[in-house]
Structure 1
Amino acid sequence: MQLLHLNISIRRFDSRLKTVDFSKMNFTPPLLAVHYASLLSEFPQILNVEGIGSYLDTVKFPSCLSPANGDNWESILDSYLHKTFIPIIKFSTNPTGDHPSIREKLLSHVFSAIRRITRLPTNYFTAISYLLSELTDNIVEHSKHEFGYLAFQYYRDNGFMDICLADRGLGLLGSYQDYTGDKDFSHITDHRTAVDSAVKGRSTKHLAEDRGFGIATSRKILTQGLGGSFVYLTGNALLINEELSNFGIDSKGAIILVRIPVSNFRKDFKWSDFVE
């Protein structure tokens, strides 16, 4: 249902709009939260965002929680530890100056908040932290966009959590096309071929010894190790676990949704068993 809503919203969005009304959205799951927040940030001519209800206001939609906004983000995040969600996070992808250290500190605090809210045991938290670090690093290294976005919701009664990441950058195909090194990616001419290449570990990193396992290993840890679900959308390529299909319309940048069970923890679980 969320992917259908996303598809429809992309089809109907008009960049000439001056006002957007969210009065019919009393609750926004992470997938749609990062989609709309990242979308609105790209169109500053949309001067009025109307109908922001209490939930959207509480998750700081659409401005998000970000050091770039001058937020006292540490204390704000800590105030959410008794809830089942955190604000939508906007993090800088800038590789220069103080940006990397601020980003690392922000994301570390976010991961810690997720752990405390869900009461994850150490071995599971380590796996999820690795997974999220790989995915955020991919955004930082390859999106060529100013910001990435993260949203989280714990569905306690249903025994799982959703974490979604997004950017409005090059997308996976654009990353392959932007590559200028010695590897030959000339056969990658469409979004689905790009996703297929990424899940097979074909990296655009310049050093031969660099791993290309951001998506591939993250999916394996999630689906095989944690028993979760992996959704990856870039352009018109939609990957759900092992199934790659045509989304029917292009989505700019990339959106990743990971759904993780928060139950039946195994003491012998080790995330390293799923890293090649």
Structure 2
Amino acid sequence: SRQVALKHKQNPCQLCFLARKMRRGAVKDFNNFQEFLDQQQYSRDGVRRYEWIFGNTFVSTGGLSTTEWGVTKAGVKDGDRILDVGCGVGGHDFYMAEKYDVRIMAVDLSVNMMSIALEHFAQRPHLADKIQFKMSDVTKAEFPEGSFDLIYSRDALLHIADKDTLFALFHKWLAPGGRIFFTDYCRGDKADYSEEFKNYVAQRKYNLLTVPEYGQLLKRSGFVNVQAEDISDDTVKALQRELERLESRKEEFLKEFSADDYAYLKQGWEAKIKRGTDGDQVWC
């Protein structure tokens, strides 16, 4: 999914709105949820598997190609101060810092994600003054008002239940004229869902909105020029390409990982593609 929104700037050519007052809290039991992420979906081996299929330094669908697309859509430019929420292992940040004169605060809750990101970062000393990695629960982070020109996130907000609180914080942290760009997992705008999809969401502890609900959330949080777009077709195609790559390079994969790892990824990608084609899961 893709969401883009702008924060009001004192300029007669732009729309106006009022910022909402921030509220505290969001993710309860920081340590317990962090432990859940690091021991389940984002175990160190799990992250390494994701990097294999998405590409080195990436843990979101499409890897570099969707990063190039997203950074272009977000309008990243020289001089931007960027907050990357759920930075994963750093691929988006390395790409932006290589291409633009930007300053990035990259945050993630997962210990494993952050440790691998720092390993990659150590191999890029020329970016040391452009990126700061920080392990943090973003819902409890404290940044001065107007700290960022862009808030960027890829497939990470699904982990956060209290999105109203989160977007109130985003609104506060953005400078006048600032913008937010994110992609995320969503649920289809339908009356009922398959048992497989409901079990998947429950097992992962995801908190999914529909694409229209995300658009409404952005507007009530004070953002203008909101674009809430369903990008499921392109995402499913990217998943199909990744599955084909996994199958065609099975022997190469098995030199680094086990047969169980291969079966886990193959089944996982097939299931995501089916959820997408059935309309249970969508991406925005």
Q: TM-score normalised to the size of structure 1?
A: 0.28
Q: Is the helix fraction higher in 1 or 2? A: 2
TM-score for both structures, normalised by structure 2: 0.28
